[in-house]
Structure 1
Amino acid sequence: MMYQIKDWQDLTIQDDYMFKLIMSRKRICKKMLEKILRISIDDLVYIEDEKSMKASYDSKGVRLDVYVKDDKHTVYNIEMQVRKPENEGLYKRTRYYQSMIDGDLLKAGVDYDELNPTYIIFICPFEPFHEGRHMYTFRNYCTEDKDIELQDGTVKLFLNTKGTMDDVEPDVKAFLEYVDGVMSPDDFVQEIDEAIRNVKMQESERVRYMTYTLKLKEERKIGHEAGFREGMEKGMEKGMEKGLEKGLQKGTQKGKLETALKMLKDGVAVEKIAKYTGLSPDMITALKQ
């Protein structure tokens, strides 16, 4: 199912674009980390806005929502994870993010035994572990003796807006409820909501979002067309399109499809395309759709 792009005025903190925009306000990002982790932070540095990392080998790139470092050199990656991937994808995503962050720090000249402490924080508007907690914190411990912690400096934390336990402070609970769309008189919630209202009134930000959505739509359109064309070709190779594969060579098949697509874009009628390409009207209609 195609993800629906929202109108500017309909965006909330739960939307990836707005979350990144609001967390670019250092005061808000700093305060959120302090409340969640119950720590004091003097200052934050944005390592790079919307940090994009790509390993030197051919792999899937990572685009981080919020990537910051505090005055004690602890690195934080904060993600608004709206949809739960299938199977174990959510949990293994933290493993991949950790490897990319460590690789990025090493490339910056840090020796491996001096790697920064890191927190990967996922904010989830769904229950990630079905235990009713608002917060799930993971560190590495010895299986045989849980009192022995592997001092690797890594923490993975999942915040759950659907939690039912009394396991977090009221201000953290209020923030998670706000992510879920519930307003409260909490000062921090009020501050975030006011920031969102103010940013929606800025014409320059609205134009940036429109430019972003247009680019996103174009990328999706190109990807959809390429995927559809590839799928049709593979389908014919496997005999999924009856009446097309027989008597046709693979190159001819591809050529006829591409010709039909061009004619459709030029507004040529389905019947005329069928006449000149030899494709069935049903196939051409499927291409048109």
Structure 2
Amino acid sequence: MEKILHITIQELHYQDYEKTINMGLVSKGIRLDVYVEDKEGRVYDIEMQCTNAPNNGLAKRSRFYQAMIDMELLGKGEKYENLNPSYVIFICTFDPFGVNLPIYTFTHCCEEDNTVKLKDEETRVFLNSKGSENAVDPDIAAFLRYVDGKAPEGEFVRSVDLEVQRVKGLEKVRREYMILSDEIRRRQAEAAAEAAAEATKDTMQRNILGMLKEKIPMETISRITNYSVEQIMQLGKLHGLL
């Protein structure tokens, strides 16, 4: 975290392993992989991400996570200035933005003058395990290659690997690791299914729009696609075809 964020951390407090934040029965909850706080009050959520999401889903997920963390941090009646600095960090096994940067760091600044910072102390970071060749810090480059499945290189990453092997050797952790591996596979399968469903939906909607452009009656389109006439009408209005 110090190397990624270029800050000094005196001490870490592990708040929760796979912390769950759920604000209500009807709202979407989240489960954080690693949630820690340092001595200075900064909070960090660290996520391992093995699959990308369509339609900028990962970026929007990071936005939602940060919002939920803020809601968890700020109690009722507290002043906004009491919000802790927060960092949401995604360690990705793919390039999330396609520019081949090793690290993408996002903070808010003014579009009209990017020297004007919002200073809301909210930071989102995405590591790209495929971008190691562009990393300035050799330790970060070695870490990204390690995440990408390569052998550990250098003192820093070898120390990480030793800890990984030590922890995986513990009986209790070995059981937890197997459960976690199953959970990761389940999440990957869910993400793949969601991506496939989204792709199918996009294809269907493009087909519907194509048929509307060809002036095919909505009742006919409904029989072909199993979309209701009302849904087809809404889609057509949204894209200026009706």
Equivalent residue in structure 2 for 1:136, among 97, 104, 120: 104
Aligned to 1:182: 150
Report the Cα distance in structure 1 between the residues aligned to 2:153 and 2:133, rounded to whole angstroms: 21
- The answer (yes or no) to whether the contact 1:183–1:189 under 8 Å persists in 2 is no
Aligned residue among 98, 104, 127 for 2:72: 104
What's the counterpart of residue 82 of structure 1? 50
Residue 94 of structure 2 is aligned to residue 122 of structure 1: no
Q: Compare CA radii of gyration and give the structure with the larger one.
A: 1
- Contact conserved, 1:128 with 1:160, CA < 8 A, in 2? yes
Does residue 50 (structure 1) correspond to residue 18 (structure 2)? The answer is yes
SS of corresponding position for 1:47: strand
Count of residue correspondences:
190
1:204 is aligned to 172
What does 1:144-183 align with in structure 2 at a 5 Å threshold? 144-163=112-131, 166-183=134-151
Q: TM-score, normalised by structure 2?
A: 0.70
Among 45, 59, 63, which residue is 1:91 paired with?
59
Cα distance, 1:110 vs structure 2: 4.7
CA gap 1:89/1:104 in 2 versus in 1, 3 angstroms: same
Give runs of aligned pairs for residues 14-25 of structure 1, distance below 5 A: none
Show the 5 A alignment for 1:30-49: 33-49=1-17
- Decide which of 195, 199, 202 is 2:163's aligned counterpart: 195
- Paired residue type of 2:118: L
Q: 1:47 to 1:208 in 2, by over 3 A?
A: closer
Show the counterpart of 2:35.
Answer: 67
- Once residues 138 and 209 of structure 1 are traced to their aligned partners in structure 2, the CA distance between those partners, rounded to angstroms, is 31
Cα distance in 1 for partners of 2:161, 2:76 equals 36
Root-mean-square deviation (CA, aligned residues, Å) is 2.8
2:33 counterpart letter in structure 1: D
Cα deviation code 1:145-177 (max 9, x no counterpart): 111011111011111111165343111111111
Deviation of residue 113 (structure 1)?
Answer: 1.9
Alignment partners' CA distance in 2, 1:192 and 1:61: 31
Write out per-residue CA displacement over residues 158-202 of structure 1, whole angstroms, 9 at most, x where no aligned residue.
111111653431111111110001123311211121122222322
| Greater fraction of residues in strand | 2
> Which residue does 1:7 correspond to in 2?
none
Residues 235-282 of structure 1 show CA distances to partners (whole Å, capped at 9, x for unaligned) of xxxx9xxxxxxxxxxxxxxxxxxxxxxxxxxxxxxxxxxxxxxxxxxx
> C-alpha separation between the residues in 2 aligned to 1:166 and 1:212?
31
**Pairwise CA distance, 1:121:** 0.7
TM-score by length of 1: 0.59
Secondary structure (helix, strand or coil) at the match of 2:167 reads helix
* Sequence identity percentage: 45
| Cα deviation digits, residues 83-130 of structure 1 (max 9, x gap) | 111221110001100110000001387532210111111111101111
CA–CA separation in structure 2 for the residues paired with 1:163 and 1:175: 11
Deviation at 1:60, TM superposition (A): 1.7
Instruction: Check whether the contact 1:137–1:157 (CA below 8 A) recurs between aligned residues.
Output: yes
**1:47-85 superposed Cα distances (whole Å, 9 cap, x missing partner):** 222210001251221000111111111111111111111
- Contact kept, 8 Å, 2:18 with 2:31, in 1: the verdict is yes
8 Å Cα contact 2:41-2:85 kept in structure 1: yes
Shift of the 170–205 alpha-carbon distance from structure 1 to 2, 3 Å rule, reads: same
Runs of 4+ in 1 over 4 A off after TM superposition: 209-214
For 1:208 and 1:165, the matched residues in 2 are separated by 33
